[in-house]
A and B are shown apart, each in its own frame.
Chain A
C-alpha cells in the first residue's frame, strides 16, 4: 500500500544523488525520486532533513558572505543598502528556520527511534509530509527575492511597522512561507513527542533515556508551545497588511511594541529550541570519549526542564530599550540572570565528566569540546547583556551579533557537526576520514573565532547591527571578521568532502563504533539497516 501523498516537485535534484548511496536494500517498489518523495522510513527522512539543512546552510552562508564582503571595507562596493538588508534578513531566516532547526529534526529522526529502541517514528507518513513542506516553504521564501520590490528586508525579527506598513509587496509570501515552515516544525515536534512517549523499548523509563532524547522531548514541547504563537503573530501581520486591521499600527490604535512582545514570547524559547538538542548531543559525546558516565545525569535533565520553563519568562530582555517601565526592566533582568544558573550547571557537569576520565580526541570530541568552550564564551556575553543598564550600550550593536553567533555557530552548529561525526559511522558504516576531519575542525575553529571575536570589540566601540557601511574606526575589526568568515565558509567545503567520502567508503565501522559509547543505537549493525528494532530490543536499564 503506497502512501497517498500529493505529488511534490523535488527541489534539490542533487540531494538524492548524495544520499542515494546508502540503504540500498530497500524492497518496496518506488525507485529514484519517487522513492524519496514517498519514503516513510525515519532513516531516509532523517537523511533528507540533514541534506536539506546542509543545502540551506550553504545558501544562508553565501548570503552571510555577501554581507561580510560588503563590510570588508568602508564604503558601498558590491551591493546597495536595499539588497544588503535583504541579505541580512534572509541569512537570519534561512539559518534559523532552514538550517539549524531542520538539522536537529533530522538528527532526531535518525537517532531517536534508534536510541529508544523503536522501529520507526510514531507517525511515519506525517513525518514524510512535514519534511516535504520544508522545500516548498523555502523555495517560496527564496523566490520572494525575485519579486518586485525585493524580498524581506526588515531583519529576521521583522519588527512592525517596518514589516507591515512599510514592507515590500512580497511580504505576504514571506508570511506564507513562514507559516508552512512553522507547520512543518510543529508536525515534526508532535511526531517526536508521540515517539518518545509511546514507543520506547519495554523497560526503558523516561529517566533511562539518553539525554539527546530528553532534550529533544523538552524541545518538542517548547516547539508545540511557541510555534503557534509565531503563527499567530504572522497571521496578525497578514491581517494588518491585507485586511486593514491595526494590531501593530499606532494610527489605528494598535501598538508596534506589542509585536515585539509577541515575537519574543516566541523568539526566546526559540533560542532554546536551537540549543537544547545541542546540549543533548554534547552530553552523549563527552562521556563517550572520556569513557566515563555523564556527571549528574539527573541534574542535566532537571536543568533542561528548568531552562525550558524559565525561557518563557525572559522574553523582554530583547526589549530593554523600547521604553519598558522600570519594574518590567528589573523583572526581566532578574529572570534573565536566573536562567544563567541552570545553564552554568550544564557546563560544570560536562567539565566534571571530563575530570578523571580517560580522554581521547576523535573528531566528534573535538567539536564537542570546542562547543563547551565557545558556547560558554557566548554565555558570558549573554550574562553581560542581561545587565539591563549595560544593555543600553550593548543593545543592537555588533556585541549582540557576536553573542548570538557564538551561541549559534560554535554552539548549535558545532554540536550538529559533532553529532554528524559521532553518528556517521552508524549511518554509513564507515568512519569519517580523520585527517580531513581535523582540518575541518581546526579551520572552522579558527574561522569562527576570527569572524566573531572581533565583533565584540566593534560592538563595544559603537558599531550598530544591520548597517551596510560603517565609520572608519570599525574598519580593522570588520576586515578581520570578513577574512574569518571567508575561511569559515570555505572550510565547510571540507566538511562536505568528509561526508561524501564517508558515504562512499572509508575505514569500516563495527556496530559499536566508539569504544565508550553505551546507548541503544550502538547495538544495531553499522550501517544501520533500513529497518531496525522490528522486534523491541532487550533494554537493560544501565545505571545512568
Chain B
C-alpha cells in the first residue's frame, strides 16, 4: 500500500525510477493506483485550498 502511495506521489511530481515503475506495473492492480490517485488528488485539492484560505486572511 505504501508503495502504491509513494508511486502516485511520484506521479504528481512527475519523477519515477525505472525499477520502481517496473514493480508498479508488475504487482499492483491498476484499480489500487486509480483509487489512491483520486484520493491523493482530493488531498491535494484540500491542501491547496487550505493554503489559499490561510493566505487570504
Does chain A touch chain B in the assembled complex, meaning CB atoms less than 8 Å apart? yes
Contact B56–A327 (Cβ < 8 Å): yes
Confirm or deny: A229 has a beta carbon within 8 angstroms of a beta carbon on chain B.
no
Residue of A nearest to B12 (CB): A306
B14: chain A residues at CB < 8 Å are 299, 302-303, 306-307, 341-342, 345-346
Taken together as a complex, chains A and B put the C-alpha atoms of A81 and B49 apart, in Å, by 43
0/1 interface trace, chain A 26-70, chain B, CB 8 Å (1 if under)? 000000000000000000000000000000000000000000000
A306: chain B residues at CB < 8 Å are 11-14
**Interface segment out of the listed A95-103, A122-130, A330-338:** A330-338
Contact B55–A298 (Cβ < 8 Å): no
Residues of chain A in range 342-362 having any CB-CB distance to chain B below 8 Å:
342, 345-346
Taken together as a complex, chains A and B put the C-alpha atoms of A305 and B24 apart, in Å, by 15
Residue of A205, A327, A334, A346 near B25 (CB, 8 A) is A205
Confirm or deny: B31 has a beta carbon within 8 angstroms of a beta carbon on chain A.
no
B17: chain A residues at CB < 8 Å are 298
Contact B11–A305 (Cβ < 8 Å): yes
Contact A298–B16 (Cβ < 8 Å): yes
Main secondary structure, interface of A, reads helix
CB distance from A171 to the nearest CB of B (A): 35
B45: chain A residues at CB < 8 Å are 313
B24: chain A residues at CB < 8 Å are 207
Main secondary structure, interface of B, reads helix
The count of residues in chain B whose C-beta lies closer than 8 Å to any C-beta of chain A is: 25
B44: chain A residues at CB < 8 Å are 313
Residues of chain A in range 103-155 having any CB-CB distance to chain B below 8 Å:
none
Confirm or deny: A457 has a beta carbon within 8 angstroms of a beta carbon on chain B.
no
Say yes or no: A331-B21 contact (C-beta < 8 A), given A299-B16, A302-B14. Answer: no
Residue of A302, A335, A544 near B15 (CB, 8 A) is A302
Residues of chain B in range 32-51 having any CB-CB distance to chain A below 8 Å:
37, 41, 44-45, 48-49, 51
Confirm or deny: A206 has a beta carbon within 8 angstroms of a beta carbon on chain B.
yes
Confirm or deny: A301 has a beta carbon within 8 angstroms of a beta carbon on chain B.
yes
Contact A330–B25 (Cβ < 8 Å): no
CB distance from B34 to the nearest CB of A (A): 10
- Residue among A297, A302, A313, A544 with the highest chain B CB neighbour number at 10 A: A302
Contact A330–B16 (Cβ < 8 Å): no
Contact A342–B13 (Cβ < 8 Å): yes
B52: chain A residues at CB < 8 Å are 327-328, 330-331, 334
Taken together as a complex, chains A and B put the C-alpha atoms of A307 and B11 apart, in Å, by 9
- Residue among B24, B52, B55 with the highest chain A CB neighbour number at 10 A: B52
A206: chain B residues at CB < 8 Å are 25
Residue of A nearest to B55 (CB): A330
Contact B53–A207 (Cβ < 8 Å): no
Say yes or no: A309-B56 contact (C-beta < 8 A), given A302-B11, A342-B13. Answer: no
Contact B16–A302 (Cβ < 8 Å): yes
Contact A345–B15 (Cβ < 8 Å): yes
- Residue among A301, A309, A313 with the highest chain B CB neighbour number at 10 A: A309
Contact A309–B41 (Cβ < 8 Å): yes
Taken together as a complex, chains A and B put the C-alpha atoms of A331 and B54 apart, in Å, by 11
Residue of A nearest to B44 (CB): A313
Say yes or no: A298-B21 contact (C-beta < 8 A), given A331-B48, A334-B51. Answer: yes
A328: chain B residues at CB < 8 Å are 52
Given A207-B25, A298-B18, A306-B12; 10 other pairs, CB 8 A cutoff: A298-B16, A298-B17, A302-B10, A302-B15, A305-B11, A309-B41, A313-B48, A327-B49, A327-B52, A544-B18
Q: Can you report 12 residue pairs joining A to B where beta carbons are below 8 Å apart?
A: A205-B25, A296-B15, A298-B16, A302-B14, A305-B11, A306-B12, A309-B41, A327-B49, A327-B53, A330-B52, A330-B55, A338-B48
Across chains A and B, which 9 residue pairs bring their CB atoms closest together, nearest first? A303-B14, A342-B14, A330-B52, A302-B11, A298-B21, A345-B14, A331-B52, A298-B16, A207-B25
Q: Which residues of A contact B (CB under 8 A)?
A: 205-207, 296-299, 301-303, 305-307, 309, 313, 326-328, 330-331, 334-335, 338, 341-342, 345-346, 544
